[in-house]
Structure 1
Amino acid sequence: MTIWKAVAAATVAMPLMWTAAHAQEADKLKTLVVAVPSDPVALEPGTNKAEPIGSEIILNVFDTLVAWTAPDFKQLEGRLAKSWTVSEDGKVFDFKLREGVKFQDGTPFDAAAVKFSLERTKAGNPYVKATFDLIKEITVVSPTELKITLSAAYPAFLSILAQPQSAVVSPAAVAKYGDKFASHPVGTGPFAFKSAQADTNVVLEANPDYFRGAPKLKQIIYRVIPDASTRRLELENGGVDIVQQQGQLSAIAAEDIGALKANKDVKVIETSSQIIRQLEFNNSKTDGPFANVKAREAIAHAIDYDGLLQGVFGGTAERVYGPLTSNSWAFNPKMKELAPKYDPALAKKLLAEAGVNPASITLKLYSFQGPLWGAVATFVQANLADIGINATIEQTEFPALRTLQTSGQFDVALDGRQPWYNDPDAHITIGYLSSLANTAMTFRMPADKDLDALILKAQQTPDQEARKALYFQIQEEIAKRVPGAYLFSPKLIVYARANVEGLVINSAPPLNEYWSVFKK
């Protein structure tokens, strides 16, 4: 080959190579890689029990009737529902549905599909029993009209309809795949399920016919990366675009956050959550060191809340002042004044007034397993030691800890609640209604006619402003009873590559939707 032929060949090859490289870069910009610590569980609404990874995938593959409006997530907007009305007694919900929407398998969405989906979840998902059992009847009025009748008023029901378990599935796909539908989930959402490899990844592809408009991304890949340090390295090197904390402070070590904030190739997105972590008393006990409210007050004043937030969390968590976080629409601002302040001297005085000798207490401090909970437990243990109480830490696996708490075999335990629907009911009813004391990891409240009546009234009052006033009162009443020491609320933190745009973080549930996300 002469030199001129070689030059000519190179001239042809260079544009081809440049085009290929450009196409590869363009594909990368259209693909979002999300690092997750484990395989997702329950990729479809009928079996989902609020496991974070599977739940997030559901909200990107499926649609719900309603959803919380970004960026504030303070009010509901229609998704598959175009509009709705609620009867004066709060029991009947009439929905008008969007027309022309199709499932990803090409079959039409209609009211019958909604009825099929909700009844399927109600029949097969025990996680939603407490709320879905309120559904008395679902009536298909027409292909675009649906009526849901409840057996009792429940204003938070619309919030329940925004959850992953309420997403609408393709009846045709369920008929086709049967028990294997979870491996072939089909919804109406912005992304369609493509594939899943155990311990490797889950791949979603854009739905070009999505009724709200095609997503800006072509593909989402959830990469399974169990090790936190590896997730950080992949983020810094561009191997992944997003790493989420999801309120657990386990995705990337807290001490690494400062370094990531200083990295120009990474942005750290933080927002307040509605997650509460607390030191709970066994309030059903009528004897023991904490049966006296003054002894409980003593413990509440023994905790160095600011020291915990800064020392253990380095600013990645916030103070909780009572039964609701301060970003809840029903939070009572007066709770900031009523909340206990760190005062070891007052704590010792209150113990004496309660007739409790701290040296006589042999206390087991139960907590979840893991380094985060170990650090919190050690901090609380030191605070208790400062007022003369000797506590031994018992880090326990979740099933065993749940059994201990529901059976009442404890005095104090570190616990918490992560609400999966945006309503004060998610914290108040389950945590403090005495009839539910033994049903879950609650504050095990004793029978209390007045407080129970207030809780049920707030749960069932249709008007939101009236409910808000009731929840204000409930928070003050709970504060008087000192059922626990409210410790912290972990922030929701998402680490993203600097070129990721359009991501808005929802606080309840703490799950991301990627329809509006793009890379530049």
Structure 2
Amino acid sequence: MNIGKRQAAALLAAAALPASAMAQSAREIRQRTLVIGVPSDPANLEPGTNRAEPIGSEIILNVFDTLVAWKAPAFDTLEGRLAASWTVSADGKVFDFALRPNVKFHDGTACDAAAVKAALERTKAVNPYMRASFDPIAGIEATGPLALRITLKETMPVFLSLLAQPQAAIASPAAWERHGDAFSVNPIGTGPFRFRSYRRDTDVVLEANPDYFRGAPQLLRIIYRIIPDASTRRLELENGGLDIVHQAGQLAAPPVQDVRALRNNPDIEVIEVPSQIIRQLEFNNNRPDSPVADVRVRRAIQHAIDYDGLLSGIFGGTADRVYGPLTSNSWAFDTRMRELAPRHDPAAARRLLAEAGVQPGQLKLTMYSFQGALWGAVATFLQANLAAVGIETTIAQTEFPAYRALHVAGRHEIALDGRQPWYNDPDAHITIGYLSSLADSAMTFRMPKDEALDQLILRAQTEVDFEQRKALYHRVQAEIVARAPAAWLFSPKLIVFRRKGVQGLVVNSAPPLNEYWGVSKG
């Protein structure tokens, strides 16, 4: 049962109480504080400019609300959040939302239709990551104080799912006007938790919103502690300094031996959930001056990789093989991809390099990678695979903000990268990743101009009939695999470590981010 608004407010104002009451309140605050260990700085804490940074995206889901959201625990249907209800026109282009009454932003201003309109238009204008999601919008209008209409340029079956992304959350117009560029580290939403403080590379503190329209959260405070070292996170978890350790889509996951050790700890539960995350060795497909511009070189690299050895040697059952641009648990996955996917074949790799005119030892590449023990192990494994066929690689593990800037600018040839879908649809992988018109808008595959593939992707995105849409995505997968834009490696399971006292946590796989409104500590 949620704590009451008055109780939450009283606890958060404990400094005004007598000493004995303050001590009791301080104890209760500690008991109702959830401490989460994360591997990296959140980088950006607000939807208008967040570009899918994992930690920041999770914070957004807890500080802000979207119009609609995936319903726990199955996360297979959408429910209203700021929208109490909605209707869709017969042609699928007009969405009319009735907003919840009396919802306030954390700064006390009203979350009405005018505010929602302004927030969505701001994100559409300033966030390049959201171009694929919001460019189809023809117009947004407030048709009444609590009535919002969104009109699309064309039918888009996935549009409601797009509105459930963290980057589609609704921010306070008054707050971003007041803070300007600093709003990205001073977020104001309507969510169950309010932003309290942020110390770069150290921590982010959120406090309960006692006036939350779904009821006050059971927790009083959330502290995100930024701990890059996996072994330190594990020790803190075992010693009770952390309540939860999650891997932010496993950008920097603990080594598999830590997973095995924590499975045997009676004070800690290891939660494992299959995901739609894809991790790959990505080629810069839009650099004509690079050797990887030759598809034979890209295919040679694909055949050089020992996929089964990677999964068994590094992951120990915590990841699955990926055969192409979609995971095998996606409803649009084409089972033919298992046959079309490259196999470990060093002889074929050497033959393809020779056909491309590349002599042994001639090709030297820098392999960029995220930081963390997992990525270091994967990079080292691939480095050995490539060396076996005569390709020399230098590993450059890079902090995420710098890595993102390098990738978006296209200053790389090969890079270990990944995509974790923010909504439950194949479009989440395909459009932003492979549409050539979006090549330089975010961390994409930087596909060269390809009108035929672009049109096929857009047809799949907008087809209304489910079976026809599925068939189109089968064609899309085959076309992408033929172009060899990456060596698709693995899909990590979502692994969350929690101490046994943490209750009510339900892990969502798309996006792989946690909401803490219903979480408590026993």
- TM-score for both structures, normalised by structure 2: 0.83
Please report how far the alpha carbon of residue 56 of structure 1 lies from its aligned counterpart in structure 2 after TM superposition.
1.6
State whether residues 330 and 424 of structure 1, in contact with CA within 8 Å, keep that contact through their aligned partners in structure 2: yes
Please report how far the alpha carbon of residue 369 of structure 1 lies from its aligned counterpart in structure 2 after TM superposition.
5.3
Q: Distance in 2 between matches of 1:255 and 1:80?
A: 43
Q: Distance in 2 between matches of 1:480 and 1:460?
A: 23
Q: Distance in 2 between matches of 1:462 and 1:327?
A: 21
Counterpart of 2:339? 337
Please report how far the alpha carbon of residue 464 of structure 1 lies from its aligned counterpart in structure 2 after TM superposition.
4.2
Q: Distance in 1 between matches of 2:128 and 2:316?
A: 38
State whether residues 166 and 422 of structure 2, in contact with CA within 8 Å, keep that contact through their aligned partners in structure 1: no
In the superposition, relative to structure 1, how do residues 126 and 278 fare at CA in structure 2: closer, same or farther (>3 Å)? closer
Please report how far the alpha carbon of residue 261 of structure 1 lies from its aligned counterpart in structure 2 after TM superposition.
1.2
In the superposition, relative to structure 1, how do residues 233 and 375 fare at CA in structure 2: closer, same or farther (>3 Å)? closer
State whether residues 376 and 397 of structure 2, in contact with CA within 8 Å, keep that contact through their aligned partners in structure 1: no
What letter is aligned with 2:89?
S
Q: Distance in 2 between matches of 1:227 and 1:288?
A: 35
State whether residues 201 and 221 of structure 1, in contact with CA within 8 Å, keep that contact through their aligned partners in structure 2: yes
In the superposition, relative to structure 1, how do residues 89 and 307 fare at CA in structure 2: closer, same or farther (>3 Å)? same
Q: Distance in 2 between matches of 1:364 and 1:53?
A: 30
What letter is aligned with 2:474?
F
Give deviations 1:230-288, integer Å, cap 9, x for gaps: 32222111111011111235253443221111111111112233332223345557898
Please report how far the alpha carbon of residue 19 of structure 1 lies from its aligned counterpart in structure 2 after TM superposition.
10
Please report how far the alpha carbon of residue 448 of structure 1 lies from its aligned counterpart in structure 2 after TM superposition.
4.3
Counterpart of 2:237? 235
Greater Cα shift, 376-385 or 134-143: 376-385
Give deviations 1:453-476, integer Å, cap 9, x for gaps: 211211222444432221122112
Counterpart of 1:431? 433
Give deviations 1:141-168, integer Å, cap 9, x for gaps: 1223210123344433323321222222
Pairing 1:342-357 to 2, within 5 Å after superposition: 342-345=344-347, 347=349, 354=355
In the superposition, relative to structure 1, how do residues 78 and 195 fare at CA in structure 2: closer, same or farther (>3 Å)? same
Q: Distance in 2 between matches of 1:152 and 1:51?
A: 29
Counterpart of 2:463? 461
Counterpart of 2:12? none
In the superposition, relative to structure 1, how do residues 222 and 433 fare at CA in structure 2: closer, same or farther (>3 Å)? closer
Counterpart of 1:97? 99
Please report how far the alpha carbon of residue 219 of structure 1 lies from its aligned counterpart in structure 2 after TM superposition.
2.1
Q: Is the partner of 2:111 in helix, strand or coil?
A: coil
Counterpart of 2:119? 117
State whether residues 47 and 123 of structure 2, in contact with CA within 8 Å, keep that contact through their aligned partners in structure 1: yes
What letter is aligned with 1:393?
T
State whether residues 243 and 251 of structure 1, in contact with CA within 8 Å, keep that contact through their aligned partners in structure 2: no
State whether residues 231 and 251 of structure 1, in contact with CA within 8 Å, keep that contact through their aligned partners in structure 2: no
Please report how far the alpha carbon of residue 34 of structure 1 lies from its aligned counterpart in structure 2 after TM superposition.
1.3
State whether residues 204 and 221 of structure 1, in contact with CA within 8 Å, keep that contact through their aligned partners in structure 2: yes
**CA RMSD for the aligned pairs?**
3.4
In the superposition, relative to structure 1, how do residues 203 and 365 fare at CA in structure 2: closer, same or farther (>3 Å)? closer
Counterpart of 1:422? 424
Please report how far the alpha carbon of residue 182 of structure 1 lies from its aligned counterpart in structure 2 after TM superposition.
4.9
Counterpart of 1:10? none
Q: Is the partner of 1:359 in helix, strand or coil?
A: coil
Residue of structure 2 aligned with 1:305, choices 304, 307, 317: 307
Please report how far the alpha carbon of residue 188 of structure 1 lies from its aligned counterpart in structure 2 after TM superposition.
2.0
What letter is aligned with 2:261?
A
Give deviations 1:10-53, integer Å, cap 9, x for gaps: xxxxxxx9999987665443221112345533333333332222
- TM-score for both structures, normalised by structure 1: 0.84
Q: Is the partner of 1:312 in helix, strand or coil?
A: helix
In the superposition, relative to structure 1, how do residues 175 and 416 fare at CA in structure 2: closer, same or farther (>3 Å)? closer
Pairing 1:103-502 to 2, within 5 Å after superposition: 103-174=105-176, 181-182=183-184, 184-197=186-199, 200-250=202-252, 252-283=254-285, 296-345=298-347, 347=349, 354=355, 359=360, 361-368=362-369, 370=371, 371-386=373-388, 388-395=389-396, 397=398, 399=402, 403=406, 410=413, 412-437=414-439, 441-502=443-504
In the superposition, relative to structure 1, how do residues 216 and 473 fare at CA in structure 2: closer, same or farther (>3 Å)? same
Computing the radius of gyration over CA atoms, which structure comes out larger, 1 or 2?
1
Greater Cα shift, 131-140 or 172-181: 172-181
Q: Is the partner of 2:49 in helix, strand or coil?
A: coil
In the superposition, relative to structure 1, how do residues 270 and 298 fare at CA in structure 2: closer, same or farther (>3 Å)? same
Please report how far the alpha carbon of residue 198 of structure 1 lies from its aligned counterpart in structure 2 after TM superposition.
5.0
In the superposition, relative to structure 1, how do residues 118 and 401 fare at CA in structure 2: closer, same or farther (>3 Å)? closer
Please report how far the alpha carbon of residue 429 of structure 1 lies from its aligned counterpart in structure 2 after TM superposition.
2.3
Greater Cα shift, 277-286 or 468-477: 277-286
Q: Is the partner of 1:216 in helix, strand or coil?
A: coil
Counterpart of 2:15? none
Q: Distance in 2 between matches of 1:47 and 1:291?
A: 32
Counterpart of 1:3? none
Please report how far the alpha carbon of residue 114 of structure 1 lies from its aligned counterpart in structure 2 after TM superposition.
0.9
Please report how far the alpha carbon of residue 60 of structure 1 lies from its aligned counterpart in structure 2 after TM superposition.
0.9
Unaligned stretches of 5+ residues in structure 2: 1-18
State whether residues 277 and 417 of structure 1, in contact with CA within 8 Å, keep that contact through their aligned partners in structure 2: yes
Greater Cα shift, 98-107 or 243-252: 98-107
State whether residues 193 and 209 of structure 2, in contact with CA within 8 Å, keep that contact through their aligned partners in structure 1: yes
State whether residues 66 and 78 of structure 1, in contact with CA within 8 Å, keep that contact through their aligned partners in structure 2: yes
Q: Distance in 1 between matches of 2:404 and 2:103?
A: 45
What letter is aligned with 2:117?
K
In the superposition, relative to structure 1, how do residues 456 and 61 fare at CA in structure 2: closer, same or farther (>3 Å)? same
What letter is aligned with 2:461?
Q
Q: Distance in 2 between matches of 1:376 and 1:36?
A: 20
State whether residues 107 and 188 of structure 2, in contact with CA within 8 Å, keep that contact through their aligned partners in structure 1: yes
Q: Is the partner of 2:86 in helix, strand or coil?
A: strand
Unaligned stretches of 5+ residues in structure 1: 1-16
In the superposition, relative to structure 1, how do residues 238 and 73 fare at CA in structure 2: closer, same or farther (>3 Å)? same
State whether residues 406 and 439 of structure 1, in contact with CA within 8 Å, keep that contact through their aligned partners in structure 2: no
Counterpart of 1:513? 515
State whether residues 289 and 361 of structure 1, in contact with CA within 8 Å, keep that contact through their aligned partners in structure 2: no
Please report how far the alpha carbon of residue 517 of structure 1 lies from its aligned counterpart in structure 2 after TM superposition.
1.0
Aligned residues with identical type, % of pairs? 63
What letter is aligned with 1:392?
T
Q: Distance in 2 between matches of 1:303 and 1:318?
A: 15
Q: Distance in 2 between matches of 1:210 and 1:288?
A: 53
State whether residues 39 and 252 of structure 2, in contact with CA within 8 Å, keep that contact through their aligned partners in structure 1: no
What letter is aligned with 2:332?
A
Q: Distance in 2 between matches of 1:349 and 1:149?
A: 53
